[in-house]
Amino acid sequence: MRAVHLAEAAAAADSLYAIGYEMYAVDRWRDAADVFRAMVLLWPLDERGWLGLGRCHDSVGEQPVALELLSLATVAIPRSVRARLALAGILRDQARHDDADRLVDDAERLANDADQDDLLELVIAARRRTS
């Protein structure tokens, strides 16, 4: 019975994420932020909610809020490579290169520990953007 509930929760999270993503894609950042905020509250260990919420706030010029949210994501999901890379991107935009470099280094260590090629590719791409 528990597996059914987990599958239903995962399907609900996927559906909510799809709604938020579609809103974000058509520049409805405030509406998308509401959807991603609900995801964060309902599924705090699903990095998609945190990343989407951070991107929404970044897109409307609220970088301090985006930084705070993405920092919280790294606390809520300590092994999140994507949250660190998103956070590093905003820091780099603010010319905080040393802080961004440390986050990319942390992301690389976590990606290597996870032994996931897709995460390593994200780190490599983040390093290319800074060269």
Domains and CATH numbers, the chain: 1-62 (1.25.40.10), 79-131 (no CATH)
Q: For residue 24, give the nearest of 51, 42, 47, 46 by alpha carbon.
A: 51
Alpha-helical (H) ranges within 26-62 are 29-42, 47-59
In this prediction, residue 2 carries a pLDDT of: 65
Q: What are phi and psi of 126, to 5 degrees?
A: -65, -40
- Please state, in angstroms and rounded to a whole number, the distance separating the CA atoms of residues 100 and 89: 7
0.85 exceeded by pTM: yes
Stretch 101-127: mean pLDDT: 94
Condensed to tens digits (0 to 9), the pLDDT of residues 29-39 reads 999 999 999 99
Stretch 36-50: mean pLDDT: 97
Q: What's the full length of the chain, in residues?
A: 131
